Homo-oligomer: A and B are copies of this chain.
């Protein structure tokens, strides 16, 4: 067993032992502190206590670092959404609202991450792994919507309605972070908004059974 320090930095050794993970964490912190633009590899190095050349033993370039950071963030997002869904029984309309709330909450709790994940269309910060992680997150939404409509996940109705709901919470999240909401919105109003739009886009299928939920 090597004497690799875990968690906090211990006595200075030549080999850091946990650099990769600490770099990812340092970058995450910097982005949350200074915004998506406000970070540099050099800053992260200082924070991790290594030279500015050290990261390139672990990552090809700064974009690969970003990909690592984003992958972890996407996994956190999937987790909080899964937890929100699990807090309600399948089929309960509150489940969808909770899911949307979890999405918005993640954006508010990790605004830097959220903006890096979705706001840049960063060509360089893309990867198959990240894409797969994104699809796992999207799957959470689709499954809940499918259960809501009691249809298979690949049903066109489910696809379209799930996407419409996602678009809404996605846009709302961005507008929140940008302080673009043109009126007061306390938590209750936001909840009401989610309920309102949830009902509108994902109407209870048992209520008006004959209705066409597909649209076009």
Contacts and interface: CB of A to CB of B under 8 A. Distances in A.
Interface of A: 35-37, 111, 115, 118-123, 134-135, 138, 142, 156, 159-160, 163-164, 166-175, 177-183, 188-189, 191-193, 195-197, 200-201, 215-216
A191 to B, nearest CB: 8
B215 A178 contact: no
A134 to B, nearest CB: 7
Given A120-B37, A171-B172, A216 B196 contact: yes
28 contacts: A35-B121, A37-B120, A115-B120, A115-B121, A118-B174, A119-B120, A119-B121, A119-B174, A121-B178, A121-B179, A135-B182, A142-B182, A156-B183, A160-B183, A160-B193, A163-B175, A163-B181, A163-B193, A164-B168, A167-B169, A167-B171, A167-B197, A168-B171, A174-B174, A192-B215, A192-B216, A193-B216, A195-B216
Given A193-B215, A215-B195, A216-B189, A134 B180 contact: yes
Contacts of A183: 156, 159-160, 163
Contacts of A156: 183
A123 B216 contact: no
A119 B122 contact: no
Given A119-B121, A193-B215, A195-B216, 19 more contacts: A36-B121, A37-B120, A37-B122, A111-B121, A115-B120, A119-B119, A121-B178, A159-B183, A163-B182, A163-B183, A163-B193, A166-B175, A169-B171, A170-B170, A170-B174, A188-B216, A189-B216, A196-B215, A200-B200
Contacts of A35: 120-123
- Ranked nearest first, the 3 interchain pairs of A and B with the lowest CB-CB distance are A192-B216, A171-B171, A119-B119
A118 B178 contact: yes
A30 B192 CA distance: 42
